[in-house]
Amino acid sequence: MANEVKEITSRDVNFAQWYTDVVKKADLVDYSSIKGSMIIRPYGYAIWENMQKILDAEFKKTNHENVQMPMFIPESLLNVEKEHVAGFAPEVAWVTYGGNEKLEERVCVRPTSEVLFCEHFKKIIKSYRDLPLLYNQWCTIVRWEKTTRPFLRSREILWQEGHTMHASEEEAREETLRMLKIYENFQRNVLAIPVIVGKKTDKEKFAGAVESYTLEAMMYDGVALQNGTTHYFGNGFAKAFGIEYLNRENKLVTPYQTSWGVTTRMIGAIIMTHGDDNGLVLPPNIAPYKTIIIPIGQNDEVMAKVDEIHEKLLKADITSKLDLSDKTPGFKFAEAEVKGYPIRIEVGMRDLANDLVTLVRRDTLEKRQVKLENVVEEVVNLLQEIQTNLYDRALKRRDSMIYEAHDYDEFREIATTKNGFIKTNWCGDVACENKIKDDFGMKSRCLIENEEVTGNCVCCGRKGKHRIYFGRQY
């Protein structure tokens, strides 16, 4: 009995436990001896590598350059921008000793790198000719979280952070929205995750930002996962750090700034958006292997065909794994499902006698027999179908879990009986946000830009200023 694969808790019985089971059984991570610092195993890391490859290409296309900044920040540097340090101080890790000697000034492990970039920018930006300055770095950061969960909330986080400087406010705002759009397209088209994109309220925005934008995804259980953010900083940081340059009129002026980032949390989002009781389900566009080929019976003809199909797929640029282990077919089928390969190709004599092979799609587990000579073509089409179906399915589910509340009683009724987001009107007062958080544990997700405000604030009854989503979050 291969019990290790059979022990996935049903996601409708205990979603949190199901998530933990999938993460482990699909060989994505292992725990380390440091709380909240996970080992990302090859199969999990391959997903991250694909994310990096695709996003990095988008960053380069839009003229960003990669750099690598230090991992340590001296306390005095972190303290330069007040709102920023207030936001991050409670969760930074401090280094106080070097070897046996106590440090003169303690240094923290970067929780994010704004201040490091600012210090550097001050040195290298002299002229309007130096702008825009478009930097990005792939690195890890540390935030000392109290509760940790693989991918969703860890202490050591793999991410990408873009930091840019611009000559005008308008240009910096454009950059903020440009990167937001890149994230949105990536999540929709590659990860097949529908996201609600919008502006954060003042209460929820990044420490030190003028405006923060977010990509909010809804997980299978109706809980929100913030899947990426972009920030417009105005020139607050630049002023605090004294970054100035000479413009065309030979005047000393302050530039405008942005930052933006996504993390391996997106892997958690894939799991909780597409996964099912059999395990992981990977969208073809991000899967390390788009197909897994499983031979049935070890005779020469089967082995020859399996090799042939594998070669053909690779030639057509379709990553494919060939499972030649000596497990039984049933075991391999089950394992292929746990690991979420988009398509499984079963090759056995029964089909080969009629020049057929069997394709099994992971999203629906539906089987179909196809002509051997058409395998590549069929796989290409099926991958597209799966990619589309996963997005449509997730979108439909999400939309079915968004509710409109017109008054507080209705809000309470929804918040206490249903899982999902609540769409409503809000007066703009942080007191109402706080009350909703205290009463129901729901925070504002983001403001809705394109809808007219139709009623009064759901909480206080005063005139509504914004359309807004509320929801519980990871």
Partner RNA sequence: CGAGAAGUGGCUCAAUUUGGUAGAGCACCUGGUUUGGGACCAGGGGGUUGCAGGUUCAAAUCCUGUCUUCUCGACCA
Contacts with RNA, residue ranges (CB under 7 A): 1-7, 14-17, 19-20, 31, 33-36, 87, 90-91, 143, 145-150, 152-155, 157, 204, 206-207, 226, 263, 265, 278, 296-298, 326-331, 333-335, 337-338, 346-352, 358, 360, 365, 367, 437, 441, 473-474
CB of 472 vs RNA, minimal distance in Å: 8
CA 125: distance to chain centroid? 32
- For residues 128 and 146, give the distance between their C-alpha atoms in angstroms, rounded to a whole number: 44
- Closest to RNA by CB, 31 vs 72, is 31
Judge whether 468 and 446 are in contact, CB under 8 Å: yes
- For residues 321 and 345, give the distance between their C-alpha atoms in angstroms, rounded to a whole number: 10
- Closest to RNA by CB, 71 vs 334, is 334
- Closest to RNA by CB, 182 vs 338, is 338
CB of 265 vs RNA, minimal distance in Å: 5
CB of 251 vs RNA, minimal distance in Å: 36
The per-residue DSSP string of 149-202 comes to BTTTB-SEEEEEEEEEEESSHHHHHHHHHHHHHHHHHIIIIIS----EEEEPPG
CB of 142 vs RNA, minimal distance in Å: 9
CB of 294 vs RNA, minimal distance in Å: 9
Beta bridge partners of 316: none
| 359's tokens | 């394709």
- Closest to RNA by CB, 63 vs 298, is 298
- Closest to RNA by CB, 154 vs 176, is 154
- Closest to RNA by CB, 147 vs 450, is 147
- Closest to RNA by CB, 124 vs 365, is 365
The residue type found at 360 is: V
CB of 131 vs RNA, minimal distance in Å: 28
- For residues 339 and 50, give the distance between their C-alpha atoms in angstroms, rounded to a whole number: 16
Beta bridge partners of 163: 135, 259
| 195's tokens | 């996201």
DSSP state of 203: G
- For residues 391 and 344, give the distance between their C-alpha atoms in angstroms, rounded to a whole number: 20
Cis peptide before 132 (omega within 30 of 0): yes
The residue type found at 379 is: V
CB of 20 vs RNA, minimal distance in Å: 5
